[in-house]
């Protein structure tokens, strides 16, 4: 199987430079020889090309850009060497493909430029350059809609929002005499919560007895430039509050940076290092921390959910210009269309 895959991969790459290729494969005493033309290959991969075109249009639309705003059309990744990809991009944009960079090196060039910006390099070409940084997925709260009893996601911070960003929304308790309130923090998905990924839970416990239904619960998201998401849940009438910190890995930890810096300086092969000497990756996110009278709650402990009110009193996300772990890549979220 590995031989067949390698032969197919070699044939695919050859068709980027040639009009046809001959594939040969032998197995269990049997041999086969297949002639494949570039036209046949492009026909069989046409659906992938269509999807690439739709994604490109979505990027431009969500980035609020037109092709007149684009100065250069660079290719990124080995598959962009396909003549069909280049023709499609040129026909869509009206621009000629700029081949000054190898598609295999474009990402590394961009990373080097971004590193120069972070380090405050005084290189002339970086003087007038800036990077807008955004979150890559919708962030919201998954609650229960009172009228239907179904799950409903309240969007807190939309994808492609410039970081840092802050958003506040008012929810209400679902029933009378709730002893606690659980705020389920989700990423991605649609308005019904389908395909959403839960990334944390913030629980306000110790609510007083006799608390009526529809008691207001104010939830605030604060998404920092370093990828740290803070969630505050506040029940004003009970003066109870809980705080959740979700620390998401945004690159290498300090000990990993030190480790690889030494590796680069010494030029050593990774294979010479034993498994026990390698740095341990950072622990997963999801730490819950107390604020005020809110108590520390283990994420496994649940509570009664909140429900979105009909006329939300929400604040527009406050954005800033801090640099973040994410460059502004306006490709779509991994979520289904509604």
Judge contact between 144 and 305, C-beta under 8 A: yes
- What pLDDT does residue 268 have? 55
State pLDDT tens for residues 63-80: 888 999 999 999 998 888
3-state secondary structure the chain: CHHHHHHHHHHHHHCCCCCEEEEEEEECCEEEEEEEEHHHHHHHCHHHHHHHHHHHHHHHHHCCCCHHHCCCEECCCHHHHCHHHHHHHHHHHCCCEECCCCCCCHHHHHHHHHHHHHCCCCCHHHCCCCCCCECCCCEEEEEECCCCCCEEEEEEECCCCECCEEEEEEEEECCCCCCEEEEEEEECCCCCCCCCEEEEEEEEECCCCCCCCCCEEEEEEEECCCCEEEEEEEECCCCEEEEEEEECCCCCCHHHHHHHHHHHHHCCCHHHCCHHHCCCCCCCCCEEECCCCCCCCCCCCCCEEEEECCCCCCCCCEECCCCCCCCCCCCCCCCCCC
Residue whose C-alpha is closest to residue 163's, from 11, 325, 335: 325
Per-residue pLDDT, averaged over 294-310, amounts to: 40
- What pLDDT does residue 95 have? 94
pLDDT band at 129 (very low <50, low <70, confident <90, very high): confident
Average pLDDT of the chain, as a whole number: 78
Judge contact between 201 and 302, C-beta under 8 A: yes
pTM over 0.75: no
pLDDT band at 305 (very low <50, low <70, confident <90, very high): low
Q: Which two tokens stand for residue 17?
A: 């430079």
- What pLDDT does residue 264 have? 78
Between 287 and 214, whose confidence is greater? 214
User: What is the rounded CA–CA span in Å between residue 84 and residue 65?
Assistant: 24
pLDDT band at 7 (very low <50, low <70, confident <90, very high): confident
Quote the radius of gyration of the chain (alpha carbons, Å): 26
Q: What percent of the chain has pLDDT over 90?
A: 40
pLDDT band at 294 (very low <50, low <70, confident <90, very high): very low
User: What is the rounded CA–CA span in Å between residue 33 and residue 21?
Assistant: 11
Per-residue pLDDT, averaged over 195-209, amounts to: 92
State pLDDT tens for residues 25-51: 888 888 888 899 999 999 999 999 999
| Least confident interval from 171-180, 197-206, 279-288 | 279-288
pLDDT band at 84 (very low <50, low <70, confident <90, very high): very high
| Least confident interval from 107-111, 125-129, 324-328 | 324-328
User: Domains in the chain, ordered, with CATH?
Assistant: 2-44 (no CATH), 65-126 (no CATH), 139-250+282-319 (2.60.34.10)
pLDDT band at 291 (very low <50, low <70, confident <90, very high): very low
- What pLDDT does residue 317 have? 43
């Amino acid at each position: 199987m590995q031989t067949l895959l390698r032969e197919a991969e070699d044939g695919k790459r050859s068709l980027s430079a040639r009009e046809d290729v001959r594939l040969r494969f032998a197995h269990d005493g049997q041999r086969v020889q297949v002639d494949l033309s570039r036209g046949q290959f492009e026909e069989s991969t046409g659906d992938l090309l269509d999807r690439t075109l739709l994604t490109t249009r979505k990027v431009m639309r969500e980035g609020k850009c037109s092709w007149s705003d684009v100065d250069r059309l660079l290719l990124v990744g080995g598959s962009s060497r396909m003549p069909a990809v280049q023709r499609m991009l040129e026909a869509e944009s009206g621009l000629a493909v700029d081949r000054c960079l190898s598609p295999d090196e474009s990402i590394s060039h961009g990373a080097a430029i971004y590193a120069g910006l972070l380090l405050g390099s005084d290189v002339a070409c970086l003087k007038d350059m800036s990077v807008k940084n955004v979150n890559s997925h919708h962030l919201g709260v998954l609650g229960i809609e009172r009228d239907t009893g179904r799950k409903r996601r309240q969007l807190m911070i939309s994808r492609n929002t410039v970081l840092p960003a802050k958003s506040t929304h008012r929810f209400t308790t679902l029933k009378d005499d709730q002893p606690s309130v659980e705020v389920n923090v989700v990423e991605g998905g649609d308005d019904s919560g389908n395909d959403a990924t839960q990334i944390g839970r913030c629980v306000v416990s110790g609510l007083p007895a006799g608390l009526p239904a529809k008691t207001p619960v104010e939830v605030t998201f604060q998404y920092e430039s370093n990828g740290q998401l803070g969630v505050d849940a506040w029940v004003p009438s009970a003066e109870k509050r809980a705080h959740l910190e979700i620390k998401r890995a945004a690159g290498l930890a300090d000990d990993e940076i030190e480790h690889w810096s030494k590796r680069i300086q010494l030029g050593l092969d990774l294979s010479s290092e034993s498994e026990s000497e390698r740095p341990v990756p950072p622990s997963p996110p999801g730490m819950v921390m107390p604020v005020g009278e809110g108590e520390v709650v283990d994420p496994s402990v649940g509570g009664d959910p909140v429900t979105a009110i009909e006329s939300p009193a929400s604040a527009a996300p406050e954005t800033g210009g801090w640099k973040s772990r994410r460059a502004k890549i306006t490709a779509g979220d991994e979520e289904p269309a509604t």
